[in-house]
Structure 1
Amino acid sequence: MAEPYIYSLNTMISLVRGAEFSQNINRIRNLLAIYRDYLAPQKGGRPSVKATDVLRAATVLLHASLEDLLRGIAVYRIPKSGEKILDKVPLIREPPIGRPEKFWLGALKPYKDKKVEELIQDSVRTYYQSFVTFNNTTDIAAVLENCEIDLTEVRKFYPVLDEMIQRRHKIVHHADREHRHQIIRDLDEAGNRGHHVAKSLSVKKVEQWVRYTERFVTKILDLMSDGEYGRQFNSSQQQL
């Protein structure tokens, strides 16, 4: 009888995070399928803003999925880092703060029953889950470097990721609205003169963002697990 294969902890974390990310990607693809099957124009032309709002929702969910994965990696990897990296993380406290600062010995009193390792883990988790956002690939690169993940093989994904992140920012903070001088006048569904209040967005563009984000994540998890994640991922794909 063959001995059971024992994964390293890095591989186990990669597989768990990868599975969670894949679930989110399936949710995004479901939104894209809804758009294609029920909302996309049947005879060409520019789709309505209401129809493409589904694509905007998919874009926001894609960015959230990427952020969730990166935070999960950081929460696992950063506590194992050296002093230089840990010094960037504030000590957990109530209320939480988003920047490291000096503290008196009394600040440790609420945590007297915790091990130092637990205090570090809780501090890192609170910081990354409550205060860290990823507004561009510079932010992404910074956390991956802190996690000691080599960026050489992932930089090629940055331009497309940045495009997706910036569009998500426009959607979330500006409702994806066109500037007044950019408003495009066109015929609405009723045949009346109208205008598009939001910037156009195609399903092909969102599909590209999904593909590149998925490839980026696969490469990150593969690097984190010394290639084991990729082998398991490819094996599971062949079994489908």
Structure 2
Amino acid sequence: MAKPTCQLSQILYVIKEPNKMISIECNSAPILAASLSRCFSNVSRVSSLIETYKNSQNEDILRLSIVYLHSTLEDCMRNLIFHYLDSNHSIENINSIPLIGHTNTKRAEKFFLGELIKFKDKSITSLISESIEEFVNRETFNNSNDIARWLDKCKVDKTKVINLLPQINDIISRRHNVVHNSDFSVNRSILSQENKVKHDVENDVVTSIDLKTIEAWISVVSQFFMEIIPSFIPKGGEITMKNI
């Protein structure tokens, strides 16, 4: 397994700088490096929202931070999965991928040979890559079990991140409540004509939120990716960070 030459402490230090665009290089996997650059640059953008919150004390900015942190988690997971599948065209891996245009069921299914005519000008490699990309773009992670399942498929040792998964599950759950319930309590029996749109934390209408939790979650997501990244780096490769 390859090892990154930059340390977690370096990553955590840099992403705390608002809107810091982080450039990661990998001599043997440039697409992977670009994906990681985007991941940690996005985390830095969350840090920028934190700074905005400190100036305004508007708690909805913290809720927005959760949404953005979750999208960073999903985006980077998709990038890593795509990198793994597109770099490992094994029969087992490819048999689980639907042909491009057939991803509605998210399962690989039989198709008529005639459907390949529209792809006749593409190479087999391109057709496989495009099918993988479409499949991965539709993949979602509703809980930490979904993430753990993909780590297993990508042959990633979960030992170092198993203790982070409960906190990642908390992030996913909280993002769901923010996006689908406006972060209100799901106990709808407490609603009344008087308080149905009132942000009343004392009556548990809106779920409380605090800066310390968000900052901890930023560290959790960053540590999670730093721990699993080495499993995706080609043998003999290394990653470095520029301008640190």
Measured against the shorter chain, the TM-score band is: 0.7 to 0.9
Displacement of 1:153 in angstroms is 2.0
Equivalence map 1:205-220=2 (5 Å):
205-220=213-228
Q: What CA RMSD, in Å, does the superposition of the two structures yield over aligned residues?
A: 2.4
Displacement of 1:75 in angstroms is 1.5
Aligned equivalents of 1:97, 1:203: Cα separation in 2: 40
% identical aligned pairs:
29
Tell me which residue corresponds to 2:15: none
**Equivalent in 159, 166, 189 of residue 159 of structure 1:** 166
Equivalence map 1:53-132=2 (5 Å):
53-79=60-86, 80-93=88-101, 98-129=106-137, 131-132=138-139
The alignment status of 1:17 with 2:31, answered yes or no, reads: no
Normalising by structure 1, we get a TM-score of 0.78
Normalising by structure 2, we get a TM-score of 0.76
Aligned equivalents of 2:159, 2:199: Cα separation in 1: 48
SS of match in other structure, 1:167 = helix
Q: Relative to structure 1, is the Cα distance of residues 182 and 218 closer, same or farther in structure 2, using a 3 angstrom cutoff?
A: farther
Displacement of 1:194 in angstroms is 7.2
The alignment status of 1:195 with 2:214, answered yes or no, reads: no
Aligned equivalents of 2:60, 2:34: Cα separation in 1: 31
**Equivalent residue letter for 1:16:** A
Asked if the contact 1:78–1:146 (Cα under 8 Å) also holds between the matched residues in 2, the reply is: no
Asked if the contact 2:50–2:65 (Cα under 8 Å) also holds between the matched residues in 1, the reply is: yes
**Equivalent residue letter for 1:19:** S
Larger Rg: 1
Tell me which residue corresponds to 2:45: 27
Asked if the contact 2:26–2:32 (Cα under 8 Å) also holds between the matched residues in 1, the reply is: no
Name the structure where helix makes up a greater proportion of residues: 1
Tell me which residue corresponds to 2:56: 38
**Equivalent residue letter for 1:120:** I
**Equivalent residue letter for 1:53:** D
- Aligned residue pairs, count: 207
**Equivalent residue letter for 2:200:** H
**Equivalent residue letter for 1:224:** F
Q: Which moved more, 1:79-88 or 1:135-144?
A: 79-88
